[in-house]
Chains A and B, each alone.
Chain A
Protein backbone atom coordinates (compact mmCIF):
# COMPACT_ATOMS: atom_id res chain seq x y z
CA UNK A 1 0.00 0.00 0.00
CA UNK A 2 0.94 3.64 -0.47
CA UNK A 3 -0.04 5.81 2.49
CA UNK A 4 -0.46 9.51 1.72
CA UNK A 5 -0.71 11.76 4.75
CA UNK A 6 -1.95 15.08 3.48
CA UNK A 7 -2.28 18.56 4.95
CA UNK A 8 -1.73 22.12 3.76
CA UNK A 9 2.00 22.27 3.03
CA UNK A 10 3.48 18.87 4.06
CA UNK A 11 5.78 20.65 6.49
CA UNK A 12 4.33 19.93 9.92
CA UNK A 13 1.07 18.02 10.36
CA UNK A 14 1.29 15.33 7.70
CA UNK A 15 5.05 15.14 8.05
CA UNK A 16 4.84 14.48 11.80
CA UNK A 17 2.10 11.88 11.29
CA UNK A 18 4.27 10.18 8.66
CA UNK A 19 7.30 10.21 10.96
CA UNK A 20 5.23 8.69 13.77
CA UNK A 21 3.97 6.05 11.34
CA UNK A 22 7.56 5.24 10.36
CA UNK A 23 8.68 4.94 13.97
CA UNK A 24 10.93 7.98 13.90
CA UNK A 25 8.88 9.55 16.68
CA UNK A 26 7.44 7.65 19.66
CA UNK A 27 3.87 6.40 19.55
CA UNK A 28 3.50 5.81 23.26
CA UNK A 29 4.71 9.12 24.70
CA UNK A 30 4.90 12.78 23.77
CA UNK A 31 8.35 13.66 22.37
CA UNK A 32 10.36 16.58 23.67
CA UNK A 33 10.29 19.94 21.94
CA UNK A 34 13.76 19.22 20.54
CA UNK A 35 12.70 15.81 19.21
CA UNK A 36 9.86 17.52 17.36
CA UNK A 37 12.27 20.02 15.82
CA UNK A 38 14.81 17.32 14.95
CA UNK A 39 12.45 15.09 12.94
CA UNK A 40 13.48 14.79 9.26
CA UNK A 41 11.99 17.46 7.03
CA UNK A 42 10.23 19.42 9.75
CA UNK A 43 9.46 22.99 8.61
CA UNK A 44 11.98 22.84 5.78
CA UNK A 45 10.04 22.11 2.58
CA UNK A 46 9.89 24.94 0.07
CA UNK A 47 6.57 26.26 -1.19
CA UNK A 48 7.23 24.93 -4.68
CA UNK A 49 7.01 21.39 -3.28
CA UNK A 50 3.37 21.86 -2.26
CA UNK A 51 1.32 19.50 -4.40
CA UNK A 52 4.06 16.92 -4.93
CA UNK A 53 3.76 13.74 -2.85
CA UNK A 54 7.02 13.60 -0.86
CA UNK A 55 8.41 10.13 -0.05
CA UNK A 56 9.13 9.73 3.66
CA UNK A 57 10.13 6.08 3.80
CA UNK A 58 8.90 2.51 3.97
CA UNK A 59 7.35 1.16 7.17
CA UNK A 60 8.02 -2.20 8.81
CA UNK A 61 5.34 -3.91 6.71
CA UNK A 62 6.63 -2.60 3.39
CA UNK A 63 4.08 0.18 2.93
CA UNK A 64 5.40 3.30 1.26
CA UNK A 65 4.65 6.44 3.27
CA UNK A 66 4.35 9.90 1.74
CA UNK A 67 3.42 13.33 3.00
CA UNK A 68 1.51 15.56 0.65
CA UNK A 69 0.69 19.26 0.76
CA UNK A 70 -2.55 20.15 -0.99
CA UNK A 71 -3.04 23.78 0.04
CA UNK A 72 -6.66 24.94 0.19
CA UNK A 73 -9.51 22.69 -0.93
CA UNK A 74 -7.79 19.44 -0.04
CA UNK A 75 -10.81 17.17 -0.41
CA UNK A 76 -11.75 18.70 -3.77
CA UNK A 77 -8.22 18.32 -5.12
CA UNK A 78 -7.85 14.83 -3.70
CA UNK A 79 -11.09 13.74 -5.38
CA UNK A 80 -9.91 15.20 -8.69
CA UNK A 81 -6.52 13.51 -8.45
CA UNK A 82 -8.05 10.12 -7.67
CA UNK A 83 -10.57 10.44 -10.49
CA UNK A 84 -7.87 11.47 -12.95
CA UNK A 85 -5.77 8.46 -12.00
CA UNK A 86 -8.76 6.13 -12.47
CA UNK A 87 -9.88 7.75 -15.71
CA UNK A 88 -6.40 7.47 -17.17
CA UNK A 89 -6.29 3.76 -16.44
CA UNK A 90 -4.32 3.79 -13.18
CA UNK A 91 -5.08 1.81 -10.06
CA UNK A 92 -6.00 3.66 -6.89
CA UNK A 93 -6.81 0.55 -4.88
CA UNK A 94 -3.34 0.61 -3.31
CA UNK A 95 -3.53 4.27 -2.33
CA UNK A 96 -4.62 5.28 1.15
CA UNK A 97 -5.02 9.06 1.53
CA UNK A 98 -5.15 10.15 5.16
CA UNK A 99 -6.14 13.68 6.12
CA UNK A 100 -3.92 14.95 8.93
CA UNK A 101 -4.91 18.61 8.97
CA UNK A 102 -7.71 18.04 11.48
CA UNK A 103 -5.03 17.62 14.13
CA UNK A 104 -3.51 21.04 13.47
CA UNK A 105 -4.04 23.83 16.00
CA UNK A 106 -3.69 27.61 15.78
CA UNK A 107 -0.09 27.53 17.02
CA UNK A 108 0.79 25.38 14.04
CA UNK A 109 -1.20 27.48 11.59
CA UNK A 110 0.26 30.80 12.73
CA UNK A 111 3.78 29.41 13.14
CA UNK A 112 3.64 27.64 9.78
CA UNK A 113 2.38 30.77 8.07
CA UNK A 114 5.15 32.90 9.59
CA UNK A 115 7.88 30.37 8.86
CA UNK A 116 6.92 29.08 5.42
CA UNK A 117 4.89 31.86 3.85
CA UNK A 118 6.51 34.94 5.42
CA UNK A 119 9.97 33.38 5.69
CA UNK A 120 10.19 34.45 9.35
CA UNK A 121 11.72 31.15 10.42
CA UNK A 122 13.18 32.37 13.71
CA UNK A 123 9.72 33.50 14.78
CA UNK A 124 7.55 30.83 13.19
CA UNK A 125 9.48 27.63 13.81
CA UNK A 126 9.35 27.71 17.63
CA UNK A 127 5.61 28.43 17.47
CA UNK A 128 4.92 25.58 15.07
CA UNK A 129 7.11 23.22 17.12
CA UNK A 130 5.15 24.04 20.27
CA UNK A 131 1.92 23.59 18.31
CA UNK A 132 3.09 20.21 17.05
CA UNK A 133 4.05 19.21 20.58
CA UNK A 134 0.56 20.19 21.79
CA UNK A 135 -1.13 18.39 18.88
CA UNK A 136 1.03 15.29 19.25
CA UNK A 137 -1.59 13.02 20.86
CA UNK A 138 -3.98 13.69 17.95
CA UNK A 139 -1.23 13.09 15.40
CA UNK A 140 -0.19 9.87 17.13
CA UNK A 141 -3.83 8.78 17.13
CA UNK A 142 -4.05 9.51 13.39
CA UNK A 143 -0.93 7.42 12.70
CA UNK A 144 -2.12 4.63 14.97
CA UNK A 145 -5.53 4.50 13.29
CA UNK A 146 -3.88 4.46 9.86
CA UNK A 147 -1.56 1.61 10.84
CA UNK A 148 -4.63 -0.28 12.03
CA UNK A 149 -6.28 0.12 8.63
CA UNK A 150 -3.35 -1.34 6.73
CA UNK A 151 -3.20 -5.03 5.86
Chain B
Protein backbone atom coordinates (compact mmCIF):
# COMPACT_ATOMS: atom_id res chain seq x y z
CA UNK B 1 0.00 0.00 0.00
CA UNK B 2 2.78 2.40 0.87
CA UNK B 3 4.18 2.07 -2.62
CA UNK B 4 1.41 4.28 -4.08
CA UNK B 5 3.03 7.28 -2.43
CA UNK B 6 3.40 10.47 -4.41
CA UNK B 7 5.61 12.13 -1.84
CA UNK B 8 9.00 10.57 -1.25
CA UNK B 9 11.05 11.72 1.72
CA UNK B 10 14.68 10.84 2.23
CA UNK B 11 15.82 11.59 5.73
CA UNK B 12 19.10 11.37 7.56
CA UNK B 13 20.66 12.91 10.65
CA UNK B 14 22.64 15.44 8.61
CA UNK B 15 21.74 16.46 5.06
CA UNK B 16 24.55 14.66 3.20
CA UNK B 17 22.99 11.18 3.13
CA UNK B 18 19.51 12.40 2.19
CA UNK B 19 20.92 14.74 -0.48
CA UNK B 20 22.93 11.93 -2.03
CA UNK B 21 19.97 9.54 -2.02
CA UNK B 22 17.64 12.14 -3.53
CA UNK B 23 20.18 13.04 -6.23
CA UNK B 24 20.56 9.34 -7.09
CA UNK B 25 16.78 8.91 -7.10
CA UNK B 26 16.39 11.90 -9.41
CA UNK B 27 19.26 10.65 -11.59
CA UNK B 28 21.28 13.80 -11.02
CA UNK B 29 24.02 11.47 -9.81
CA UNK B 30 24.71 8.04 -11.19
CA UNK B 31 26.97 5.09 -10.64
CA UNK B 32 29.45 4.43 -7.88
CA UNK B 33 31.23 7.07 -5.85
CA UNK B 34 33.53 9.17 -8.08
CA UNK B 35 37.23 9.62 -7.34
CA UNK B 36 38.36 12.22 -4.82
CA UNK B 37 38.94 15.01 -7.35
CA UNK B 38 35.41 14.80 -8.72
CA UNK B 39 33.87 14.10 -5.34
CA UNK B 40 34.70 17.58 -4.06
CA UNK B 41 32.86 19.11 -7.03
CA UNK B 42 29.96 16.75 -6.49
CA UNK B 43 29.67 17.85 -2.87
CA UNK B 44 29.67 21.52 -3.87
CA UNK B 45 27.00 20.80 -6.48
CA UNK B 46 24.88 18.92 -3.95
CA UNK B 47 25.20 21.74 -1.44
CA UNK B 48 24.28 24.27 -4.12
CA UNK B 49 27.02 26.49 -2.77
CA UNK B 50 30.82 26.32 -2.56
CA UNK B 51 30.43 25.95 1.19
CA UNK B 52 29.83 22.21 1.35
CA UNK B 53 29.69 22.38 5.16
CA UNK B 54 25.95 23.01 4.79
CA UNK B 55 25.73 19.30 3.93
CA UNK B 56 26.70 18.54 7.50
CA UNK B 57 24.40 20.98 9.27
CA UNK B 58 20.88 19.84 10.13
CA UNK B 59 18.12 22.03 8.79
CA UNK B 60 14.55 22.76 9.74
CA UNK B 61 11.55 21.44 7.90
CA UNK B 62 11.06 19.68 4.61
CA UNK B 63 13.22 20.67 1.63
CA UNK B 64 11.99 19.77 -1.88
CA UNK B 65 14.67 18.27 -4.14
CA UNK B 66 12.61 17.87 -7.32
CA UNK B 67 10.19 15.60 -9.10
CA UNK B 68 11.13 12.21 -10.43
CA UNK B 69 10.13 10.76 -13.78
CA UNK B 70 6.81 9.51 -12.39
CA UNK B 71 5.87 12.92 -11.01
CA UNK B 72 6.57 12.11 -7.38
CA UNK B 73 7.82 14.96 -5.26
CA UNK B 74 11.14 14.06 -3.68
CA UNK B 75 11.96 15.89 -0.44
CA UNK B 76 14.75 15.92 2.13
CA UNK B 77 14.62 16.01 5.90
CA UNK B 78 17.70 16.28 8.13
CA UNK B 79 16.67 17.50 11.58
CA UNK B 80 19.65 16.24 13.57
CA UNK B 81 17.61 13.57 15.37
CA UNK B 82 18.30 9.90 14.75
CA UNK B 83 16.64 8.37 11.70
CA UNK B 84 14.47 6.06 13.82
CA UNK B 85 13.11 8.96 15.82
CA UNK B 86 12.59 11.01 12.65
CA UNK B 87 10.76 8.14 11.00
CA UNK B 88 8.41 7.66 13.95
CA UNK B 89 7.84 11.39 14.43
CA UNK B 90 7.01 12.07 10.78
CA UNK B 91 4.70 9.07 10.53
CA UNK B 92 3.14 9.78 13.93
CA UNK B 93 2.24 13.37 13.22
CA UNK B 94 1.01 12.50 9.73
CA UNK B 95 -1.33 9.93 11.28
CA UNK B 96 -2.68 12.50 13.73
CA UNK B 97 -3.20 14.91 10.83
CA UNK B 98 -5.27 12.27 9.04
CA UNK B 99 -2.77 11.44 6.29
CA UNK B 100 -3.09 7.85 5.03
CA UNK B 101 0.19 5.92 5.20
CA UNK B 102 0.09 5.27 1.45
CA UNK B 103 0.37 8.97 0.60
CA UNK B 104 4.07 9.21 1.40
CA UNK B 105 7.19 7.11 1.48
CA UNK B 106 9.84 7.54 4.14
CA UNK B 107 13.34 6.36 3.39
CA UNK B 108 16.02 6.59 6.07
CA UNK B 109 19.61 6.98 4.94
CA UNK B 110 22.24 5.90 7.47
CA UNK B 111 25.06 8.36 7.85
CA UNK B 112 28.79 8.16 8.33
CA UNK B 113 30.16 7.84 11.88
CA UNK B 114 29.10 10.70 14.09
CA UNK B 115 32.59 11.94 14.94
CA UNK B 116 33.61 12.03 11.28
CA UNK B 117 30.48 13.97 10.31
CA UNK B 118 31.12 16.40 13.15
CA UNK B 119 34.67 16.95 11.91
CA UNK B 120 33.36 17.55 8.40
CA UNK B 121 30.81 19.99 9.76
CA UNK B 122 33.61 21.82 11.51
CA UNK B 123 35.34 22.31 8.17
CA UNK B 124 37.63 19.33 7.61
CA UNK B 125 37.70 18.71 3.87
CA UNK B 126 39.29 15.27 4.25
CA UNK B 127 36.59 14.23 6.72
CA UNK B 128 33.90 15.51 4.36
CA UNK B 129 35.26 13.50 1.45
CA UNK B 130 35.56 10.40 3.61
CA UNK B 131 31.99 10.92 4.86
CA UNK B 132 30.73 11.20 1.30
CA UNK B 133 32.65 8.08 0.29
CA UNK B 134 31.15 6.16 3.21
CA UNK B 135 27.64 7.58 2.74
CA UNK B 136 27.45 6.95 -1.01
CA UNK B 137 26.74 3.18 -0.91
CA UNK B 138 24.12 3.60 1.82
CA UNK B 139 22.43 6.40 -0.11
CA UNK B 140 22.51 4.37 -3.32
CA UNK B 141 20.99 1.40 -1.51
CA UNK B 142 18.24 3.58 -0.05
CA UNK B 143 17.45 5.14 -3.43
CA UNK B 144 17.48 1.76 -5.19
CA UNK B 145 15.23 0.16 -2.59
CA UNK B 146 12.80 3.07 -2.73
CA UNK B 147 12.67 3.13 -6.52
CA UNK B 148 12.23 -0.63 -6.68
CA UNK B 149 9.35 -0.52 -4.22
CA UNK B 150 7.69 2.40 -5.97
CA UNK B 151 8.12 0.99 -9.46
CA UNK B 152 6.86 -2.44 -8.42
CA UNK B 153 3.50 -0.96 -7.54
CA UNK B 154 0.88 1.04 -9.36
CA UNK B 155 1.97 4.29 -11.04
CA UNK B 156 2.09 7.20 -8.66
CA UNK B 157 -1.11 9.23 -8.60
CA UNK B 158 -0.66 12.98 -8.76
CA UNK B 159 -4.21 13.97 -7.88
CA UNK B 160 -5.20 14.71 -4.33
CA UNK B 161 -2.97 16.87 -2.23
CA UNK B 162 -1.64 20.14 -3.50
CA UNK B 163 2.04 19.42 -3.44
CA UNK B 164 2.94 22.86 -4.73
CA UNK B 165 2.59 24.20 -1.23
CA UNK B 166 5.95 22.69 -0.37
CA UNK B 167 7.63 25.06 -2.84
CA UNK B 168 8.04 27.71 -0.20
CA UNK B 169 9.56 26.22 2.89
CA UNK B 170 9.33 29.15 5.27
CA UNK B 171 7.14 27.99 8.11
CA UNK B 172 7.40 29.96 11.29
CA UNK B 173 6.63 27.03 13.55
CA UNK B 174 7.09 29.09 16.69
CA UNK B 175 4.07 31.17 15.74
CA UNK B 176 1.78 28.21 15.50
Binding site for B on A (CB under 8 A): 2, 4, 48, 50-53, 66, 68-73, 75-92, 95-97
Contact = CB atoms under 8 A, between A and B. Distances in A.
B42 interface: no
Given A69-B85, A73-B79, A83-B62, 10 more contacts: A51-B87, A52-B88, A73-B58, A80-B79, A81-B93, A82-B93, A84-B90, A87-B161, A88-B104, A95-B93
B166 interface: yes
Interface stretch (B47-55, B129-137, B167-175): B167-175
B123 to A, nearest CB: 21
B9 interface: yes
Interface size class of B (residues with CB under 8 A): 35 or more
B97 A72 contact: no
A112 to B, nearest CB: 16
B74 to A, nearest CB: 12
Contacts of A69: 85
B5 to A, nearest CB: 9
B153 to A, nearest CB: 17
Contacts of B59: 76
Q: What are the nearest 3 A-B pairs in CB distance?
A: A89-B161, A51-B88, A90-B97
Contacts, number: 132
A78 B99 CA distance: 16
Contact of A84 (B85, B88, B93): B93
Interface of B: 7, 9, 11, 58-62, 73, 75, 77, 79-82, 84-90, 92-94, 96-99, 103-104, 160-163, 165-166, 169, 171, 173-174, 176
B159 to A, nearest CB: 10
B61 A79 contact: yes
17 contacts: A50-B85, A50-B88, A53-B92, A68-B89, A76-B61, A77-B80, A77-B89, A79-B61, A80-B60, A81-B89, A81-B90, A81-B92, A82-B93, A83-B169, A87-B161, A88-B99, A90-B94
Contacts of A81: 89-90, 92-94
B137 to A, nearest CB: 25
A79 B173 contact: yes
Nearest to A48: B84
A4 B97 CA distance: 12
Contacts of B173: 75, 78-79, 82, 97
B103 A88 contact: yes
A89 B98 CA distance: 8
Name, among A75, A83, A86, A92, the residue most crowded by chain B CB atoms within 10 Å (CB to CB). A83
Contact of B79 (A53, A77, A88, A90): A77
Given A83-B62, A97-B176, A52 B92 contact: yes
B118 to A, nearest CB: 13
A33 to B, nearest CB: 30
A96 B21 CA distance: 32
A73 B81 contact: yes
